[in-house]
Amino acid sequence: MTEIAEHEARLAAALDRIEDAVSWVEARETGAAAPAADEVAGLRAALEAERAAKAQLIERVGALRDKQETVVAGLERRVAELGEELDRSAADLARQTALVEQLTEANRTLREAATSGEAAGAAIDRAMAADLAALEAVRAMERAEIDSVLGEVRRLIGEAADA
């Protein structure tokens, strides 16, 4: 905020000098006395100082723009990564939902076989296969979550090393 106030003060001073220069030109056209050489030198020096300040501000704005573009590109890349991760999680969830439905059906078949007193070897096999598939899916989801966490930790370590 102090930079803004400083720039405002510099601009106001520059406007005052411009007003003085306009007055000088008007006075010159009307035949009034010309300003002193030291006043002209002061105005030229002020003009050069303002040009230098403008160049510095342009340089700062350029640096800020570059930094902003870098940050935005990094954020866009991260959003894309998170979108892909979300898509994988949605696919895993759909697979888990299907396996739960299979497991529920196998359990229903086992319950019916148990209440009717049949020896349901095929039903037990289907239930065990569905249960095994569900456990494998849970393990795959847990592995994907661990990989995601490790990837994030690696990214943070890389950022810390770069800093």
In the chain, the largest separation of any two C-alpha atoms, in whole Å, equals 124
- Listed ranges 73-87, 89-103, 127-141; the one with the highest mean pLDDT: 73-87
Rounded Cα distance, 73 and 57, in Å: 24
Average pLDDT of the residues in 121-135: 79
Would you say 109 and 121 are in contact if contact means Cβ atoms under 8 Å apart? Answer: no
Backbone angles phi, psi at 63, to 5 degrees: -65, -45
pTM score, two decimals?
A: 0.48
| Nearest C-alpha neighbor of 78 from the set 163, 161, 158, 142 | 158
Would you say 125 and 133 are in contact if contact means Cβ atoms under 8 Å apart? Answer: no
Banded model confidence at residue 60, pLDDT cuts 50, 70, 90: very high
83-92 residue pLDDT tens: 888 888 888 8
- Listed ranges 29-33, 34-38, 151-155; the one with the highest mean pLDDT: 151-155
Would you say 96 and 137 are in contact if contact means Cβ atoms under 8 Å apart? Answer: yes
Q: What is the residue whose two structure tokens read 């076989």?
A: 113
Q: Would you call 106 exposed, middle or buried from its count of C-beta atoms within 10 A (0-12, 13-18, 19+)? A: buried
Rounded Cα distance, 126 and 107, in Å: 9
Residue 33: pLDDT above 70?
Answer: no
Cβ partners under 8 Å of residue 43, min gap 6 = 17, 20, 21
| Averaged confidence pLDDT in the chain | 81
Average pLDDT of the residues in 6-24: 80
Q: Would you call 97 exposed, middle or buried from its count of C-beta atoms within 10 A (0-12, 13-18, 19+)? A: exposed
